[in-house]
C-alpha cells in the first residue's frame, strides 16, 4: 500500500484507525449481515448508532441540554442560505464579519433571504488578518452575527470567539470544529461541513439553541426547516447514513485520543513546528497572515520565486507529501493539518522544506 501524508484541505485525511475499522465492517456491520450503507436508517441498529454518535459529540463539545444537535445534508454552503431562512427573513438585518473567501460566500448566499450587512471585513488587506473589534459596525437589531472561525483558503483564524452582546452568534466551523475545546453556549448556531475534522463529505453537523427554532417556518419547505429536522431526529428524510456512521467512528477515536484538550495540544504543536520552519527560512518561505491571526488548521505559504512552485510540488509528491498546492485565490502552497494529520507528517513536510530550500536557495 502506498498510502502517505495527505495535506488536502478537504475532503481531507481521516484517521487511519477509523478507515481500518470501516474497512473491516464494510460488508457486514453490527451483526446486521449487511453493510451500514444497506440497512434502514429507521431500523433499530442504525438509530442506536446515530444516537450514540450524538451522545459522543455532545460529550466532546460539552453541548448544553438546551441545544439541538442535527446531522444534515447539503454542505455548509447550503446552510449559508438555510440559516437565514430559519432564524431571520428578508425583513431582518444580519451582520457578517468577513475574513476570507468563505465569509464572502456566506454573505452572497444569504442575501436573498436576509438583509446581509458586512459589519467588518479584512478584504482591503487581502484577508491576512481579523478586523479590529473596535472597527465592527454591528446592528443592535440584527437577527444574528455570522463569522467564520477559520478561513480554509486564506489561513486566518479567530483564536477566541467574538463578543457580540445579546445577538445570536453564528459560526461556520467547517474547518476547525473538534480541533480544540470551544464554548458552545457562547453561540446561537455552530455548523460545520464534515469533510475536514468530522468525517467524509455529504454531512453537516449543526448545533442550534432551541429558542432560535421554536417552530418550523411556514414559508420554506419542511425538509429545510431545522425545527422539523430536530423533531424527527435529523431523519425527516433519508440522511447520509455512511457519513453519519463514519463521523461516529471519528468521535470515538477523538475520545480515545484524550478528547479535545489533547487534540488542541497536538494541533498547536503541529502549527508551531510548521510556522517556525517558514519563519526561520530566511525568506525562502513566507506566510502572509498576521501572526496573531494564523490558522492552526490551514497554513498557506509562498516560495521566494514562483518558478520554484512546480519543482516543489513535483518533489514533495515524490517524497510522499500530497495535496500541497495552494488555492488559486492565494497561490503558492497550502498545508492543511487537521486532526488526522500526525506530527510525523508535519515533521516530514518541514524536513522536506528545509532540504528543498538548501538545494534551491
Q: Count H helices, E strands: the chain?
A: 9, 14
Cα 237 to Cα 191, 217, 222, 284, 348: the distances in Å are 19, 18, 10, 52, 44
Q: Do domains 16-256 and 259-360 have the same CATH topology?
A: no
Q: Which of 172, 244, 270, 325 is catalytic?
A: 172
According to DSSP, the β-strands at 169-172 and 145-147 are parallel
Mean pLDDT of 66-80: 96
According to DSSP, the β-strands at 89-98 and 67-72 are unpaired
Mean pLDDT of 99-104: 98
Answer yes or no: is pLDDT of 160 > 70. yes
Mean pLDDT of 126-147: 96
Active site annotation includes 102? yes
pLDDT in tens, 166-178: 999 999 999 999 9
Answer yes or no: is pLDDT of 3 > 90. no
Active site annotation includes 305? no
Mean pLDDT, the chain, rounded, equals 97
**Domain residues of the chain, as ranges?**
16-256, 259-360
pLDDT in tens, 24-35: 999 999 999 999
For domain 259-360, which architecture applies?
A: Alpha-Beta Complex (3.90)
pLDDT at 361: 86
User: Whose CA is closest to 176, among 154, 200, 159?
Assistant: 159
The grid cell for 166 is 445579546
Q: Is 198 helix (H, G, I), strand (E, B) or coil?
A: coil
Q: Which of 29, 68, 95, 196 is catalytic?
A: 196
User: Whose CA is closest to 99, among 143, 38, 149, 24?
Assistant: 149
Mean pLDDT of 135-164: 97
Which residues partner with 286 through β-bridges? 302
pLDDT at 74: 86
Q: Which of 102, 244, 270, 296 is catalytic?
A: 102
State in words which class domain 16-256 has: alpha beta
pLDDT at 2: 78
pLDDT at 16: 96
pLDDT in tens, 181-218: 999 999 999 999 999 999 999 999 999 999 999 999 99
pLDDT at 41: 96
Active site annotation includes 29? no
According to DSSP, the β-strands at 169-172 and 189-193 are parallel
Mean pLDDT of 50-75: 97
Element (H, E) at 346: helix 343-360
User: Whose CA is closest to 276, among 291, 293, 298?
Assistant: 291
pLDDT in tens, 252-280: 999 999 999 999 999 999 999 999 999 99
- In the chain, the N- to C-terminal Cα span, in Å, equals 34
Length of the chain: 361
Amino acid at each position: 500500500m502506498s498510502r502517505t501524508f495527505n495535506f488536502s484541505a478537504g475532503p481531507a485525511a481521516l484517521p487511519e484507525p477509523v478507515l481500518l475499522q470501516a474497512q473491516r465492517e464494510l460488508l457486514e456491520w453490527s451483526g446486521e449481515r449487511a453493510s451500514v450503507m444497506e440497512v434502514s436508517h429507521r431500523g433499530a441498529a442504525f438509530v442506536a448508532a446515530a444516537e450514540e454518535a450524538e451522545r459522543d459529540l455532545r460529550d466532546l463539545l460539552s453541548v448544553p441540554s438546551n441545544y439541538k444537535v442535527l446531522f444534515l445534508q447539503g454542505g455548509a454552503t447550503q446552510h449559508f442560505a438555510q440559516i437565514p431562512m430559519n432564524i431571520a427573513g428578508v425583513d431582518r438585518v444580519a451582520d457578517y464579519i468577513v475574513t476570507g473567501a468563505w465569509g464572502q460566500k456566506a454573505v452572497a448566499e444569504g442575501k436573498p433571504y436576509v438583509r446581509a450587512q458586512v459589519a467588518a471585513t479584512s478584504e482591503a488587506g487581502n484577508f491576512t488578518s481579523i478586523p479590529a473589534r473596535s472597527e465592527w459596525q454591528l446592528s443592535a437589531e440584527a437577527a444574528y452575527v455570522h463569522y467564520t472561525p477559520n478561513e480554509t483558503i486564506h489561513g486566518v483564524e479567530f483564536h477566541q470567539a467574538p463578543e457580540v452582546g445579546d445577538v445570536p452568534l453564528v459560526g461556520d466551523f467547517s474547518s476547525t470544529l473538534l480541533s480544540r475545546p470551544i464554548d458552545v453556549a457562547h453561540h446561537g448556531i455552530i455548523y460545520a461541513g464534515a469533510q475536514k475534522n468530522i468525517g467524509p463529505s455529504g454531512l453537516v453537523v449543526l448545533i442550534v439553541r432551541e429558542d432560535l427554532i421554536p417552530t418550523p417556518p411556514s414559508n420554506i419547505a419542511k425538509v429545510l426547516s431545522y425545527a422539523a429536522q430536530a423533531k424527527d431526529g435529523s431523519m425527516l428524510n433519508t440522511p447520509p447514513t455512511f457519513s453519519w456512521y463514519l463521523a461516529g467512528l471519528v468521535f470515538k477515536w477523538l475520545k480515545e485520543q484524550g478528547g479535545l484538550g489533547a487534540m488542541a495540544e497536538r494541533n498547536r504543536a503541529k502549527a508551531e513546528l510548521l510556522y517556525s520552519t517558514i519563519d526561520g527560512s530566511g525568506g525562502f518561505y513566507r506566510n502572509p497572515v498576521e501572526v496573531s491571526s494564523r490558522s492552526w488548521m490551514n497554513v498557506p505559504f509562498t516560495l521566494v520565486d514562483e518558478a520554484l512552485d512546480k519543482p516543489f510540488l513535483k518533489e514533495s509528491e515524490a517524497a510522499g507529501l500530497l495535496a500541497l498546492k495552494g488555492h488559486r485565490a492565494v497561490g503558492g502552497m497550502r498545508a492543511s493539518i487537521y486532526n488526522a494529520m500526525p506530527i510525523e507528517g508535519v515533521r516530514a513536510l518541514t524536513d522536506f522544506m528545509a532540504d528543498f530550500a538548501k538545494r534551491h536557495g
